[in-house]
Structure 1
Amino acid sequence: MKKKLYFIIGIFFIIILPGCTQTNTKSQNQTWTILVYMNGSNLEMTSAAATNDLREMLYSGSNDNVNVIVQTGGSLYWHNYYVDEDRSQRWYVGRFKMDELYNGELKNMAQADTLSDFLIWGINNYKADHYAVILWNHGGGAIAGFGLDETTNGDTLILSEMKNAFDKTKKDTGITFDLVAFDACLMSNIETAYVLSPYSKYMAASEGLISEMGYAYDVFLNDAKNNTDKDGQFMGKSLIDSYIYEADRKGSVASS
């Protein structure tokens, strides 16, 4: 498995997943849909980490070629006036404006069906040439999996459930993602890469602990909008580079 290594403090990898073929896109007017699965958990309740990242997304926002779609949930309290901790919500992130697309009964963000429903809905409603998924929350590696839904006493999405979610998404849509990225600790491991290999061309993740500041979404989205002709590897590297930028901007790369 070919991989490019970036040292930060937590170590990020861009991994070419072997189950999918690699293509080079030459058209300058490609479109992207970026689906952000934001499980706020205690990262939002205690330090407004999700709200801070939503604010960064708003600084850049979507345009005609890049759709930024977010599902929120999983936290007992949100530090903003638009996200309701008692509801599952989906958002179109524009520049300095979030449009609510869906407001439904609160769902467990650590269940496969919740993830697959969002991915299928996003693909069907925001057609594009390329698709990326960003999974936002805690990461527990191969054993604990991804995410911690605070509204369910800490349920997590284990790897078998993650596989079920992506498998259902591919069967229903026929889409292979260009990139699956984790804004989470400990998800760069062979087990996660193996699980995702039939469903995505690239994976970006950290094998270690990372700061809760995560990616610099304003920087990444500006880069994405200026490079829509690029592939999932470029977008994954852009996310990782934005983490380095965020560390410089906030004066720390310390992980805890």
Structure 2
Amino acid sequence: MNKVFSLIFILLYTGLFAESEWTVLVYIAADNNLFNNAFKDINEMEQVGSSDSVNIIVQIDPLDDATSHFDSTEARRYYITKDYSPSYISSTLLVSLGEINSADPKEVYKFANWGFSEYPSRKKMLIIWDHGNGWSKEDQSKSVCNDDESGDNISVADGELKTAISNINYHLDILAFDACLMQTVEVIGEVYEYCDFIIGSEDEVPVDGFPYGFAWDTEYGIFNYLTENPQCTPREFSKEIVERYVNSYLSGQQSGSHLTLSAINTDYYPIFQ
């Protein structure tokens, strides 16, 4: 009898804490003029939602006057669930964080360490969403994640981006930047040791950003692909993100020009050193 009970307990325990295939964390630093676009992108994610195999978790730091979309200006974490309304965010609220400085590298790795611990998975992806200027000669800040409240950003040149990523306690299968000008040798050199693939643009990213999900034109949404193909490898998903990004704009599903996006296998970066 004890053996039967033990077996039932083990089955329940392993079922409760079983790993998903993927956990995708989206760090949205929207305490700036991109907030409306952040709201749109979260609603795109809700067109698909998480699944038994794929966890999609968002942390958003909204603009202070963003109450037209939220009932609060606090930073929040959401578990993305399916919903077809573009007028509001209906996903499950997990945590309210109060006012934060989303340009503090600590906020990135706190979110990542919490997310990957709470939602264990075989494959892990982090998307950093906001303004970016990488290593642009025209912009001295050489940074990503602008926070209007603090007047701060995460500097690439001063090592803050490396601090943000190197303090994540989990190796990333994919690190993606939904931000302008982040796919440069200088940026890759800061973070390549901590991830297998890096996705980003060497040019501007249109304000529509990544094509996260679509209820009808499912061939363009990156989360459509992932939830339909959760067994895909990080290499396969990285390739699919690049292709769907370009096709979503060429088809008119999204609006923008100056399209560049690439996926870099970090195994090959040391060749350039």
Give me the TM-score of the superposition, normalised by structure 2.
0.75
2: CA distance between counterparts of 1:42 and 1:235? 30
Where do residues 1-256 of structure 1 align in structure 2 (5 Å cutoff)?
A: 31-45=21-35, 48-78=36-66, 81-82=69-70, 84-85=72-73, 87-96=74-83, 97-142=90-135, 143-153=141-151, 155-159=152-156, 160-170=159-169, 175-218=170-213, 219-247=221-249, 248-250=251-253, 252-255=255-258
Superposition deviation, residue 151 in structure 1: 1.6
CA contact (8 A) 2:20 2:55 kept: no
> For the Cα contact (< 8 Å) 2:50–2:81, is it kept in 1?
yes
- Distance (whole Å) between structure 2 residues aligned to residue 185 and residue 61 of structure 1: 26
Structure-2 change in CA distance of 1:79 and 1:136 (3 Å):
farther
- Aligned equivalents of 2:126 and 2:68: distance in 1? 23
Deviations 1:47-102 (A, max 9, x none): x11111011000001000000000000523337544632x1210000111411110
> Over alpha carbons, which structure has the higher Rg?
2
| Percentage of identical aligned residues | 25
Q: Which runs of 5+ in 1 are unaligned?
A: 1-28
How far has the Cα of 1:197 moved from its partner? 1.1
* Distance in 2 separating the partners of 1:240 and 1:83: 35
Offset at residue 204 of structure 1 (A):
0.3
Q: 1:204 to 1:102 in 2, by over 3 A?
A: same
Residue range with higher mean Cα deviation, 107-116 or 75-84: 75-84
Residue range with higher mean Cα deviation, 241-250 or 109-118: 241-250
Q: Secondary structure at the match of 2:167?
A: helix
**Partners of 2:26 and 2:112 in 1: CA distance:** 9
Q: For 2:126 and 2:254, how far apart are their aligned partners in 1?
A: 28
> Any conservation in 1 of the 2:59–2:111 contact (CA below 8 Å)?
yes
Q: Could you give the per-residue CA deviations for residues 214-233 of structure 1, whole angstroms, max 9, x where no partner exists?
A: 11100111101122222222
3-state SS of paired residue (1:72): strand
For residues 238 and 33 of structure 1, what CA distance do their matches in structure 2 show?
A: 17
Matching residue's letter, 1:67: N
Work out whether residues 208 and 255 of structure 2, in 8 Å CA contact, stay in contact via their aligned partners in 1. no
Residue range with higher mean Cα deviation, 88-97 or 119-128: 88-97
Q: Structure 1 counterpart of 2:184, which letter?
A: N
TM-score under structure 1 normalisation?
Answer: 0.80
Shift of 1:254: 2.0
- Check conservation: 2:34, 2:130, Cα contact below 8 A: no
Deviation of 1:145 (Å): 1.6
> Structure 2 unaligned runs (5+)?
1-18, 84-89, 136-140, 214-220, 260-273
2:23, 2:225 → 1: CA distance?
A: 14
Q: Whole-Å Cα distance in 2 between the matches of residues 43 and 137 of structure 1?
A: 10
Which residue is 1:7 aligned to?
A: none
Give the superposed CA RMSD. Answer: 2.0
36-45 or 112-121, larger mean C-alpha shift: 36-45
